Each structure stands twice: as C-alpha cells, then as structure tokens.
Structure 1
Amino acid sequence: MSDASVTALDYSRTLFLPKTDFPMRGGLPQKEPEILARWARENLYGALRESGKGRPKFVLHDGPPYANGNVHIGTALNKTLKDIVVRSHQMTGSESNYVPGWDCHGLPIEWKVEEEFYRSKGKSKPDFSDSQAIIAFRKECRAYAEHWLGVQREEFKRLGVVGDWDHPYTTMSYPAEAQIAREIFKFVASGLLYRGSKPVMWSVVEKTALAEAEVEYEDYVSDTIFAAFPVESEDASIVIWTTTPWTIPGNRAIAFSRRIAYGRYRVTDA
C-alpha cells in the first residue's frame, strides 16, 4: 500500500462506533420547552398521582412566595430544592402531591401597588377614611396579585417544577378567608381571644403594624464606653458599659438585680 493511499484512508470507517440519537449540542433553550410540552401533553402530574395511589403520603407544605413580581434567584432556588425533595420521596415509594401556593396579602403587595400606580405617577394614595376608596384599593391589590401569580406560575413551570398548577392555594381565595374567620371564631368561643396592650413596630406611612420580617435595620457604628463609678465605703468601683454615652451626665443611679450573678475583679494592669 502506497503512502498516498494510507493518507487518504478514512480510519473512522474501520472503527465500530456506537450511534446515538443525542445531538452534539444540548440546545437547551429549544429542548427544555419541548420537554415541558411533552410533560403537559402526557399529563405527567396526573400519571404521578395515579402511580402513587395507596402509598404512604408525603406532604411538603409550601411556604408561599409573595405574588408581587417576577421570580428572583432566591425564590427559584427555594422552589427547585422543594421540587427535588418532593420528587425524591415520590421515587422512593411515597405519594408526594405538591400543591404550590402564593401569599397574596400584606404590605409587599400594597406597597408595590402604591409604587406603580400612585407614587410613580405623582398621585396621592387613596383616602382610606372613605370606605369606597378602601374597596377600590383592595380590588387593585387583588388584580395585581392575580397578574403576578399567573406570571410566576409560568416561570416555575419553565424551571421544570412539577405540581398541581391548576389548583394552587392562595391566601386571597374566598374559601381560605372564610376558613380563617371560622378558626378565629373558635378561639373566641373558647375564650382564648382577648384585647390587651403590646408594643409593636408601626409604619407611619402605611399606618399599620409591621411584622419583624418587614423591618430592615440600618447598620451604623455606635459609640460605646465603659465607665467606673467609685464606691464610697471601700476602695472599689462599679463598672458599667453603655451604648448611649451622652446620657452619662444625667445618670443618678446604677441598677442591679438579685437574680443576676456579678463578678469582683482586681485590675493590676490598666
């Protein structure tokens, strides 16, 4: 065999290489929608429910996201991890029915409505002393939540999360609100509901109480001091520490408690 014929020989034809239908490139932007469409066409969720009949139930109670904007990376990670947990239990012998939910109440949605429909347009927020204005504002909040619920549902589907997307739970559904009222009446009937005084964080702008999760603290460098107050009866001092040194000139006493253990120390190098 001449050198020329050896050079021209296609050695790939001499090898027994397995063939695959897999494409050389992933093409995920095109492939993933096709996979999701196939899941919908074959009713994957219904098939999972059918195969899980009679198994021990595993229920993951979904802490719902707010329906007030697009899915962000934190929400996406949260929902993906939940999907992994639910699927793993389904694959290991449980009936894992995942029902997604949305939180449609509270300041995050009201604030967004005010921001987009009032402040950004230079309009004043409604006068809530008018009952009709309150009703109209609530309708705006409900419509806003319904819109973003639909957007987020499609975004979660696009992430490949499997769940009962046709029957989610929402905090603004009328049956849910009615159930809340029924449960409160049970507390009333049992004598467990009372009116009392309690300090709460208050929003001057929104004119409502704030949950601890809704308050953001701004970090700052605090001036603190240790101060020694001499004791007249013996050669010793009582040391205090304060984050408000400007109040020292007005101090008149040092408080102590019989229920707290204190220490007595001799300072040799100060």
Structure 2
Amino acid sequence: MDEHVLEAAGRCRVVVRDGRVVEVGKPVIRECPLARRFACPVTEMTPQAITKNIQNRIDSFGMCTPGRELISDEVFVGFGASEIISSALKSRYIDAAVIACDGAGTVVVTRSAMAQGIGGRMSGLVSTTPIPDVIRRIEDEGGIVADPEHASLDPLTGVHAARKAGHEHLIVTISNPEDARTVREYDPDAIIIAVHTTGYTPEDARLVRAYADIVTACASRTVREICGPCAILQAGSTVPVYALTPGGKHLILLRMAAIDYPLYVTHADLPVTGEKGPNPLV
C-alpha cells in the first residue's frame, strides 16, 4: 500500500494515499503564525484548511508521490531546520545530514540543495512507504537511502549508513526524544536537531535538553519551559529555535551569516517570548 502519515499544523494527523489526502485528524492548536505564511496559508486550524494545505503541497511539488521534487534553494523559514542544515552543508562545517524524506524514509544527504528540497516544505513525517522513483533519484544525486526496502524512519540506521560511507561530521534530525539519546550514545560528536516537538511531555523535553544541540519549540509548552532557560542562543521569538550547546550555537551563527536580509542581534536573558505565538501551547 502507498501510504504516508504526517503530522501537520501542530500535530494534526494526516494520511496520504496515492497522491490524495484521505484522512485528517483533529488539530490540537487553533492558530500558528508560521502556518499563516505557508504558500497555501492555514489561517484557521480546521480539517478542511489543513486538507487544502497538504493537497497543495502534493500538487505543487509532488510530496508523497513519484514526482517528488528533491532539489531546491528556496528559503521558507529563516531558521528552519532544513535552512540550518543547508547552510551547514554549504559551509562544509559538516559532511552529511541524516534526515527524513517521504517515499524514502531516513536518508543521508550531502548536498545543501537536497537537504532544503527534501525538508523545506515537509511536515512531520510519522511513517512512509517506499516510492522507487524517489529512492532512485536520491541515490542518483549522491544521497543514501538507509532502508530502501521499507523506507523506515530510524535516525541511528541513517548514522550507521553515513559512517559506512565515510562521513564523519554529521547533523541528525530527530522527532522522537529517545532517538536523541540513542544517537548521542553512538556518536557523541553528531549535532542533533530536535524537530516537530509539539505535544512533548516534560520527560521528552528533558531528554532533548540533555542530548540535543538544537531544538525547535514549535507549539510545545514544555520545550519553552524546560529547554528555553538552558539555551545559549535563541533564533526567533514567536516560534523559537534554541541552541543548547556550542555546536548548536555555531550552526545557527552559520545560518545567520548566510542570510542576506538585515538581522537584529542583542543580549537578553533567555528565553524571549514573542507577542504572537502558536495558540494554545501543548
């Protein structure tokens, strides 16, 4: 079966089959400033609006289909995970990134444009099934698909594949906090970015605080309360990105250096809260 399960717009479960949205769960938040800036904006968190947004992604760049676009230099969020990874790859600070891709599962990429093309417009991927054309094109572009038979999502398997290919300096994205611990114990030098954190429990946030280098706050109250005060650098205020280690801080500084629009930098006690963030925090 061709089936892809996403979490979109604040942990709303979405199921895609054969290029169509076939199931949308109940959203857990009412509004998000980032969702208002989507190419197909979600101004009100309803199943209908989320269906329209996800179907627009499928129709416009082939998400969850054999026609999936994989290469892009288009920036969608100033300090999004894919933008941070893309800048780090471009600067050669890291060798490779272990990320998730619909239709391929956990993949290893070395090209900045592929990191951005895969991650820039994709929501949280819960599960996926193999799409041979997507897998072939990733491999043709120099990427590695860690489990082409099942398209499983397993960051540690991706780290193993990256190491086997000779890559030493890695960025790894995780959404399951336990994966942060597993990856850190295997590769103490990996830079770990925790993404899609909406709904994290206090224990989840404590795991990320202990093992991740960067964490995106999304609509998570626990990440703001537990990770925010430990941050050594914060990017953004409405949907903050926290650097928790010097390695994470360096990555965000690399991203800042790559941005060509004006930036305002100041000292402050962290976290800093913006006036209008996701509502409610969960």
Q: Fold conserved (TM > 0.5)?
A: no
TM-score category by the smaller chain? under 0.3
TM-score by length of 2: 0.20
Considering fraction of residues, name the structure with more strand.
2
Considering fraction of residues, name the structure with more helix.
1
